[in-house]
Every structure is written in structure tokens, then in C-alpha cells.
Chains A and B, each alone.
Chain A
Amino acid sequence: MAERIAIVGVGQTHHKSKRPDVTTAEMIAESVERCLEDAGLQMKDVDHLVGGSFEVADGYHCPDKWIIPELGAVGKAGLELQNVGTTGGVLAVASFNIAATGLFDTVLCYSWQKMDEAAGAFGRGGGGANEYWTGQFPMSPITNFARRTYAYMDRSGCTEEHIAMVRVKQDQCALKNPYAQLRLGLTVEQVMSDVLLAWPIRRLHMCPTTAGAAAFIVCPEERAKKVTDKPVWVEDWFTCHQGGALTMAEDPTSSTLRHACEVVYKRQNIKNPVKEIQAWEVYEPASPAELRWMEEVGICEDYTAWKLFEQDKVGIDKEVPFNPSGGVTATNPIGATPVVRLVEAALQVRGDAGEHQIPGKIERALATGYGGQGENVIMLLRKTL
């Protein structure tokens, strides 16, 4: 990298299914204000903005144009990016790239989704689907993960009870996170008797529709050290898009996550990820996805992750601290979701996550964004340089 960069401030809203009390811009401003306060900065200190949401799901065109003035950012440089499900990941990566050029001192990334104002599933179902090939299937995130999950169950021996245990673990984590949307106090029996959407996916397994926003500020090294005494260094980042090639995948359970992690681990000389990375915020659009993702990021062998749940080894204060925030099945403001992962990972590294803080020193944390039918963004954070 040209410049080493660090996250100096983070902010997010309290995520809800509906936010009738605020407009989209006001909701974003909540997260941006919290982020600026966290960094001890003001909008006048920011010199570049990067923002976006999955705007088709919200039903507007070029929203950055009316949001920027409401954030008090007129006269600043900036742009909007959007990559469907990985939007937040791409926003983060773009902010990293811009800060790493050293041309800008303080880059603010803002992201959001306000799904109480639109039919989000409409936009989501069409993401990247070619109307001649994959677009011909009724392929929504629900059916996509139904297909992935039953293929996984078929190959691994994992049962419906195990995927319900995953959901309960996520809920237990979310109960400790005041920003999470769904905090339900679930039992395995409740999950297993919930409404069936597409076998084996039940309503509780699927990410909810959320109104929420998340923001962070990233600076080059010199500036970061001046702004905060708790910089969270961004060690590496990588986007990996396969291009909606659902029908071309050799293994229906897999995504590009394994490849993306391999690239980043190799670059950063990470040999044993489960030892060298102490916190994980990995984007699971449906609770059973967490099983396959745990295998793909290198925590355990293929088709064995469900055993970790059977042995009660996954949780905030357990052997594998996977998604301590409650993850995406608890909170999903689509365009902001990968940024929420990054914000949560940064809080873990700083030791500021509160009740859902993983005990012990967090030297490294890995956050991801997921989209479409296997797109991934990797964001690797570090406590020390």
C-alpha cells in the first residue's frame, strides 16, 4: 500500500424494522453523527465522502445528491458506489483505497438501507440475474439459501436441529448487542416450529428487512495517529465477485469466500487463521450459511462446522467467537450490512464492543460482505502495526 490506513471512528443506528420517525437522510445523519463523535471530529474535518445503499431496493435514483447536503457535506469531494448485496463492502474498500492514496486526509464512509419504505425483496431477487439464464429461475435469497442448505445437509450429515442451534446462537449474541434488530430469546424448538419458507429455510433463519445506517472514518497513518489513540489498522482488503455464475458453480454449497480468504491470508502470511484471527464478523444472509462460511474462512474442515455447534463451542466467550454482534440474521440494512460487520469488528479490536466484547486481546478481526450468489468482500483489521 502507498499509505498505511486506520479506522478512527465508527457509528451505527439502533437498527429497527421500521423507522417512521426519521427520513432516510436523518437516519444516515444519526450514524454519521455518532461516527464523528466517536472520532472526535466534525464534518468540516472530512475531505472525501463515499456513500451508498442498494438503491433499487429503496426505489430511488442517485440518493447521494440529496443526502450529501443533509450531512452538511456540500463542497466536498465524493461519490456513490453500489454493488447490490456487497454494496457496503465495496463502499468500505473504496474508502480504504481513497485513504491509502494519501491524497485525502479524512475519508467518511456512510451507508444505509431503509427497507420500511420499499419492497426490498423485489430488487434483491433480480440482483445480477441474467434474464436468459439465472433470471429464469425464481431465485431469491430465500430459495438460493434453501438450495445451498439442503445440499450442505445432504453432504455433511447436519440436521434441521443443528441449523436451529446456529440461529439460537445468533440470537444469544444479538441479545447482548443493543444495536441489533431481532433480539428474541429463542429456543431450538421455537426455531424448528417457525413458518417454513423454502425447506429447510424457516422465517427465523432468513435475514430480516431493516431500516438502519452505519458509517466509519478512515485516515492515512500520520493523520490517524493524531486523531485517535486507538486506531484500528486496516491490514488488507479484497473484493471477489464471480458474476452471478450460480449455475456454473461446481459445488452448490460454496461461494468465493474460500478463494478470497486464501488470497488475503497469503498476502498477510496468515497460516493458521483460527489462531491468528480472534474475532469474526462474517456476512451470513441466512443462519445456516454460517456453517459453510466457517469452513470456507478456515476455522474448521469441510462439512464439520455443525459439530462445533453440537459441542457448544461457538459463542462470544467460547472457543470460536463467530459473529458476536448477532450477525446478519439479526440485523440486515442491506447496503449498510457489510459496514455494520466492519464497525463491529473494529469495536472488537478496540475492546469497545461492550456486553458482546470477546474476552482477551483481539489482535486481528475479519469482516466480510456477501452478495448475490457468491460475491464476497474481505476486510482484515489489526490492533498493532
Chain B
Amino acid sequence: MAGRVGVVAVAQTKFEEKKATEHTAELMYNVTREVMGQTGLEFKEDGTGIDATLAASYDLFSGPAGAYMFLGYVVGAYRREDERVLEDGSLAVYYGAMQILSGHVDTVLLVSYNKESSVGKNLIEWVGMDQIYQRRIGLDFVSAAGLQAMRYTTKYGITPEQCAKVVVKSHRNAANNPYAMCCDNITVEDVLRSTMLCDPIRVQEAKPTPVDGACAIILASEEKARKITDKPVWITGFGSCYDHHELGYRDLADCEALTTAAQRAYKMAGITNPLKTFDLAEISEQYAYQELLWSEGLGFCGKGEGGKLIDSGKTQMGGDLPINPSGGMLSGLPVCVAGMQRVAECVVQLRGEAGDRQVPGAKKAVAHGVDGPAGQLQCVITLEN
């Protein structure tokens, strides 16, 4: 393993319900041009610019197969090294870091984009279930989450109020984030009064859908990163892990895959007490219960203690470990872009540039991404400044 990998630039669009006037290529242009502007890097073939591009996107969401290729038109990424991860954006950061650690390239431009407004998210996620058993009975990612929420809250006695508190915190934090889609003074009662989406998940407890937007990041080898910026943020550890797809094969109240992915990342970073070590966490909670469950998987509390954790106030702004100072997915992020944007938010925090949502003196952060039904594929990335 050759040195460390640094994040040298990040950019995101404002996340909105429908960006009707912006083509996917324009979304890509806006964020990639911004990170290129921040670093002064262009696409060059002599090793002095950006060596490679790595996209994270889902073809069924973007329409034309391989829309990532538009980068060739919009930012002159002609004859470049190019790959695309068909997973949540966090896995693009995970693999992008390995591209650099392999010694093969020095700088990688990552981009993730999604216009959920142009397609039916539930239909696509239904096609993401295996076609023999689970798709036939109509399971999609929302109903898988419903089953997980039911099992998790029942097994550990997590109350509806505890889940609703996650939403309240998320919206309150989002008010400080100029990129976030929604922010309002929603109350626990408002959440619990909202329409039932998929028992026990209510509409306000789910990520708003659709959301359009994009995110870009430039990663660089240690040597290059120091030259490009005086505020590099280092990737210290990363891990991924698959769980069973067949929901009946796992106890949905636990998230073994996340526990394993987190342990892999923490081992690499030399972290033993995540609650003490990290100054903030940006995690992917498509549904309110997931922030509690993922907190357990990430080792912020013991099994079944996610409810107590939110009650303790430790995860609020000003607490020991603020979770999602940006507002997280519950404040409106497109799937796929979410994971990369989680990393970008951590970077903004660790650079001390988060404005009103800044966690004072943040030095270490953890970003988390998830893909597949009920958190089947998990990815954890640890960062420090």
C-alpha cells in the first residue's frame, strides 16, 4: 500500500425535487467544473492533471445506458481512464481510494448524479429484487425497509417517538445547510400524524422522493494532495460487506454487514472506540429507523440501544457525536449520490468550511453508504484532517 489518499476537492449541487431545466450532463458539468476550478486541475495525458474519472450511477435511473460518458463532452475528459461503480456513491470513494493505493493513478475525479424525478424509484428498486422469489411477491426496497423497521422496533422496543425524533433532528440540522432540499420545524407529533407509507414507516420518516442532484470529489495520492491543496482531508480507512439478499435469511433487527464493514474500516484506521474517536458522522438513513440501527452497526452504541442513543441527545448538534449535521438523507438526497455526498459533507466539516452546520473543531469523521434492500451492501469510510 503506497501512502495515504487525500480528498482535495468536493462539490455538490443544491438538492431539489425536480431539476426540470437541467440535463444530466449539466448536473455533471456543474459539479465537475467546480472541483476542477477549486484545484486548477484539467484532463491531461502527461500525468500533471486528472488521471482518471470514476462515476457512481444507476443506468435504470439515468435513462441512456452509460450517461457517465457525457463527461467526455462536458468537461473535455477525452481519452481518459474511466470506470463506473454501479453502487451507492460511497463505494466509488472506496474503490477510487484503491485505484490510487494500487499506484496506478495519482488523481481521480469522482462524480455521482441522479435525477429521481425522471423515473419511478420504487419500480426500479423492485427490479433490484431477485426475480424468482422476492420480486414475485412484490417486495421492493421500501417494503423490505418496512419489514426491517417492524422487526427492529419490535425486537428491541424502539418506540415510534424515538424514530420520529430522528426526523425532527434531521430537518432542524438541514435548516443550516444551504444545499439541503427540505427543512422545517417539524415536530414529533407531525411525524407521527403523517400518512403511513409502509407499516411502521410513515411518509415523514422516509427520504423525500424524488430528489435530483449531483456530487463530485477529487481524490489524490498523498504527495499530489499536498501539492494541490493546503487543506487535504485524508481517507484513513474503508470497508465494505455484503449481507444476505433473501430477507428471511437474516435477522433484520441486526445489521451484521455494517458491523463487519465498520470493523474493517476501523481496523485499517486503528480506531477502537468510534463514539469517542469521531467528531461527527454522516450516514445514509433512507428511513428514520435506519439512523438508530446503523448507529448500532457503526459501533456508536450496543445492539438495540439506538433508541436510547437518540434520547440521550449525544447525536444532536452540540452532542458528543453529531450524526448528520447536514440533515442527511431524510432532508432530501437522491439514492446513489447520497453516499458520495456523505463523504463530501465530512470533508467540508473537516476543512472547517461547513458554515452554520459546522461541528466546531472537527478532526475525525465517519461516512457511511448503503445499497440494496434493507442495508444489504454496506460501506464505511473514515476520514481525518
A residues at B contact (CB < 8 Å):
1-3, 23, 49, 52, 54-57, 59-62, 64-66, 68-69, 73-84, 90, 93-94, 96-103, 123-124, 126-131, 133, 135, 237-245, 256, 259, 372, 375
A residues less than 8 Å from B249 (CB atoms): 69
**Given A68-B242, A81-B83: A103 and B1 within 8 A (CB)?**
yes
Tell me which of A100, A103, A241 has the highest count of chain B C-beta atoms within 10 A of its own C-beta. Answer: A241
CB distance from A224 to the nearest CB of B (A): 15
**How far apart sit A304 and B125, CA to CA, in the bound complex (Å)?**
51
Question: Knowing that A61-B60, A65-B377, A79-B87 are A-B contacts, what are 19 other residue pairs whose CB atoms are under 8 Å apart, sorted by A's residue number?
Answer: A2-B103, A49-B242, A61-B127, A68-B245, A69-B245, A69-B246, A69-B249, A76-B241, A77-B241, A77-B242, A78-B242, A81-B86, A83-B82, A98-B102, A99-B102, A100-B101, A101-B98, A123-B65, A244-B69
A62–B78 contact, CB under 8 A?
A: no
CB distance from B33 to the nearest CB of A (A): 16
Tell me which of A237, A238, A239 has the highest count of chain B C-beta atoms within 10 A of its own C-beta. Answer: A239
- Quick one: which of A1, A96, A101, A127 contacts B65, CB cutoff 8 A? A127
CB distance from B373 to the nearest CB of A (A): 7
Is B72 in contact with chain A by the CB < 8 A criterion? yes
**Given A98-B95, A239-B83: A135 and B73 within 8 A (CB)?**
no
CB distance from A201 to the nearest CB of B (A): 22
- Quick one: which of B25, B95, B128 contacts A61, CB cutoff 8 A? B128
**How far apart sit A277 and B14, CA to CA, in the bound complex (Å)?**
51
A residues less than 8 Å from B132 (CB atoms): 23
B84–A243 contact, CB under 8 A?
A: no
When C-beta atoms are compared, the residue in chain B nearest to A240 turns out to be B79
CB distance from B114 to the nearest CB of A (A): 13
6 cross-chain pairs, A with B, having the tightest CB-CB distances, nearest first? A243-B72, A66-B130, A128-B69, A100-B102, A241-B82, A61-B128
A residues less than 8 Å from B83 (CB atoms): 81, 83, 90, 93-94, 239
A to B CB contacts below 8 Å, 9 in the list: A2-B1, A61-B128, A77-B261, A82-B84, A84-B65, A103-B268, A127-B66, A240-B82, A244-B69
Tell me which of B63, B83, B260 has the highest count of chain A C-beta atoms within 10 A of its own C-beta. Answer: B83
When C-beta atoms are compared, the residue in chain A nearest to B245 turns out to be A66
**Given A1-B104, A62-B372, A126-B64: A74 and B70 within 8 A (CB)?**
no
B residues less than 8 Å from A80 (CB atoms): 85-87
A243–B70 contact, CB under 8 A?
A: yes
**How far apart sit A75 and B259, CA to CA, in the bound complex (Å)?**
10
Tell me which of A99, A101, A375 has the highest count of chain B C-beta atoms within 10 A of its own C-beta. Answer: A101
A126–B65 contact, CB under 8 A?
A: yes
- Quick one: which of A61, A74, A123, A240 contacts B80, CB cutoff 8 A? A240
When C-beta atoms are compared, the residue in chain B nearest to A117 turns out to be B131
B242–A75 contact, CB under 8 A?
A: yes
A residues less than 8 Å from B85 (CB atoms): 79-81
CB distance from A278 to the nearest CB of B (A): 25
**How far apart sit A93 and B98, CA to CA, in the bound complex (Å)?**
12
A97–B127 contact, CB under 8 A?
A: no
